[in-house]
Structure 1
Amino acid sequence: MYRIDGDVFDCFQAAVTVQLLKLKIDPMYIWASLEFGIEKENDIYQIVNYRSKFEERMESLFSVQIKYTTSEKCGEEFLHGIVAGDIVRVDTFHLPYCILFNREHSGHYINIIKEEQDRYYIVDKYFSFEGYVTREEFKSILEAPINSKYFTNCTKLTLAKNSDLVYVPLTIVERSLLQYIDGNFSTHMSKLKLLIKQKEIDLGDVYAALKYTSNNRYHFRIFVEKYFCETTVLHKKIRETEVNWRTLANFILLLNNDKNSVQLIENINQRIDRIINYEFETKKLLKIVLNQKGEESL
């Protein structure tokens, strides 16, 4: 059973994973990725959003495309167009079962599992909810953020598989290794030290990005443990890297409450240096795995 919850996925990933399983695609192929990057735009350093390459990876690995449908109003045409298999964007502020209900606005994604005449059966793995909502309740959930001008439109996503093309597990490891090389990892990590000092940056967003990075180390480890079960040293090293990324994310969250803490910034910089060492050790072990598998195939 593949683990799907808010501790190892964000809501978008969780919703996509539910649909990947329905398409009989192992989600580990999609999420087993080690990319990490920081770019400078308008003199501000920002962590690259994983979704910038996500759809490209989905299509290249499995010929899966994501189709977006939007509407400025939640009319009957849009509502009746929502069917089982769709992923729908909602606002947590108007989601009755959510802990953020009537407390905090946030874009969120849920799965439509079954459509009936007057209700929908929905699944929200991020908030561990499964159950029915009436058509009227659902319409209200979609309309409210537009009326409050939090969203400018209603949005739904559909995943479509265009072929049965599947890459072998070794290809995933090769691609991750290329991401290390092409991504100029040490340079990006040095930029991270500069990024946290910028007053223009919301450290809450940085925390979320670093948590995601920790999560993709988790997914990569699960992938390697399944398909390369004999490489226990690599498993352990990825686990250590995963924990250090999560610790770094937590440090950033603390810094958000005390941005002038010299000690905390020093701890963060030391943690970044530690992660650089762990990541390069992981890279070496990945190369060994590739060489061994290459020799076995001869």
Structure 2
Amino acid sequence: MKNLSFTLYQNNYHNCGRLATSAMLKRLNVPLNKIWGQSGLFYKVNESGFKISPYFRHIISEFENYGIFLTEERFTDFKECYKAIKRLIDSGKTVALETDIYELPYCIYYQDHHELHEIEIVDIVGDELIICDHYYHYYGPIKFLELEKNFNSCRDHITHATCKIYSFEVNYELLYKNELFNFKRVIDENLKVMSGVPVGDLIEESTKENNKEVYIGISAIEPIGKIIEKAVQMDKEAAAWQLYEVYRELKETANSRYNFHVLLNSYSFPQVGSAFSEISQDWSVAANLTTRSMVTENFENLYPRIKSRFEKVIRKEESVLKELDSLLKNI
């Protein structure tokens, strides 16, 4: 039986995918304040561009540590995808679906630009699917034909292959049995990553042959700042795209620090938690200054402030590492 005691889930510190995931897990009575703990940093450059991420484990392998199991299915045809969605809905689950905001009629970016997005499907009524778009705050119906058009757009313009759906199952015995172990593990892994040690997916990511530059942890912060500095030498369109991509990842890094702050507070470590909340704000300021430089085209005047903020972030990340190390030794 689906838990529809709430419709939209709101959290300003999650992207669309993590909002959908959080809502689905909340319906399964998973304590959300204890599962979002990754707060690392990784930056690499290869022929296709750059990648910045605060995360070092895929959500599938990370959640398995908690007894949360994600089942993912991929499709090239929406009618086959719909059959799988209906099967899961009929079994009492809700389902997340990859979409394209370009073909979401309620979205402010409808037919403006293509961008990957995720929604939660909670029911099917006649020829309509009832959805929760937790990011754009929409709860209501979307017609089968509209979602089919969206699926095709996502496949053709974004993924260029398949679109996925996913759902969850929870082993509650593992969820609570491994609680303290996972808390210690996350602290240890964050410590290692921010100290430059590859953990989880970063072990493979950092050794790929096509990598030109690889930075893990605090050492990644200064090179990330230089991406922004180099953007001023590009033409406006290329610079805008690059700065937008950097902005998104800086914002996600800020989110990761805030969510780690929530986890630390849930285990009654408010002092260290407060330090991560402050770092989150500094990353957010850096992100907002970056996007402001893009929108106002006032890069030369804003860059010194961006650079100064990055230097402040480095100092704070170094300081909080010492606090985390001390915390881990005393748990």
**Shared topology, TM-score over 0.5?**
yes
Residue pair 2:116, 2:158 contacting (<8 A) in 1 also: no
Asked if 1 retains the 8 angstrom alpha-carbon contact of 2:293 and 2:302, the reply is: yes
Q: Summarize deviations over 1:88-130 as a string: whole Å, max 9, x none.
A: 1111121111111122221111011112343221111101111
Distance 1:47 1:149, change over 3 A: closer
Alignment correspondent of 1:104: 113
Find runs of 4+ consecutive structure 1 residues off by over 6 angstroms: none
Identify which of 20, 25, 28 aligns with 1:23.
Answer: 28
Bigger CA drift: 127-136 or 216-225? 127-136
Instruction: Give the one of 228, 235, 238 matched to 2:276.
Output: 238
The answer to whether the Cα contact below 8 Å between 1:45 and 1:191 also exists between their aligned partners in 2 is no
Aligned to 2:12: 7
One of 226, 245, 248 as aligned partner of 1:194 = 226
Letter of the 1:237 partner, please give it. Answer: A
Q: Distance in 2 between matches of 1:49 and 1:283?
A: 15
- Of 29-38 and 180-189, more deviation after overlay is shown by 180-189
TM-score (norm. length: structure 1): 0.84
Give identity over the alignment, percent: 19
| Distance of 2:24 and 2:151 partners within structure 1 | 21
SS of the counterpart of 1:130?
Answer: strand
2:217 aligns with: 185
Match of 1:296 in 2: none
> Could you list the per-position Cα deviations for residues 202-259 of structure 1 after superposition, in whole angstroms to 9, with x for gaps in the alignment?
110110000011111111111111222xx33223211211110000001111232467
SS of the residue 2:70 aligns to: strand
1:105 alignment partner, SS class: coil
* CA drift at 1:142: 2.6
1:223 aligns with 2:223: no
Alignment of 1:68 onto 2:73? yes
Kindly indicate whether the alpha-carbon contact (under 8 Å) linking 1:186 and 1:276 is maintained by their aligned counterparts in 2: yes
1:157 to 156, 165, 181: 165
Q: Does 1:270 align with 2:275?
A: no
- Please report how far the alpha carbon of residue 153 of structure 1 lies from its aligned counterpart in structure 2 after TM superposition: 5.0
RMSD, aligned CA: 2.8
Q: Does residue 130 of structure 2 align to residue 116 of structure 1?
A: no
CA apart distance, 1:271 = 0.9
The separation in 1 between residues aligned to 2:286 and 2:109, in whole angstroms, is: 26
Residue 54 (structure 1) aligned to one of 59, 82, 87: 59
Q: 2:65 and 2:249 mapped to 1: Cα distance?
A: 24
Offset, 1:23: 3.4
One-letter code aligned to 1:21: K
2:101 to 92, 103, 107: 92
Give me the whole-angstrom Cα distance separating, in 2, the residues matched to 1:235 and 1:149. Answer: 41
**2:324 aligned partner:** 286
Q: Contact (CA 8 Å) 1:74, 1:154: kept in 2 or not? A: no
Matched, 1:171 2:185: yes
Change in 2 beyond 3 A, CA 1:79/1:39: same
Preserved contact between residue 21 and residue 27 of structure 1 (Cα < 8 Å): yes
Alignment match, 1:78: 81
Rate the CA distance shift 1:261–1:118 in 2: closer, same or farther, 3 A. Answer: closer
Alignment deviations for residues 34-55 of structure 1 (CA, whole Å, 9 cap, x no partner)? 1111112239553147486333
Q: Distance in 2 between matches of 1:141 and 1:96?
A: 10
Once the two structures are superposed, residues 51-94 of structure 1 have per-residue CA deviations (whole angstroms, 9 ceiling, x without a partner) of: 863333223343523413211x323x332221332211111121
Q: Report the Cα distance in structure 1 between the residues aligned to 2:320 and 2:124, rounded to whole angstroms.
A: 46
Q: CA 1:105–1:149 in 2, change beyond 3 Å: closer, same or farther? A: closer
Separation of aligned partners in 1, 2:50 and 2:145: 44
Give 1:207's match in structure 2, choosing from 233, 247, 258. 247
Measured after TM superposition, the shift of residue 286 of structure 1 is 1.7
What 5-or-longer segments of structure 2 have no aligned partner?
1-5, 199-215, 232-237
Aligned length: 287
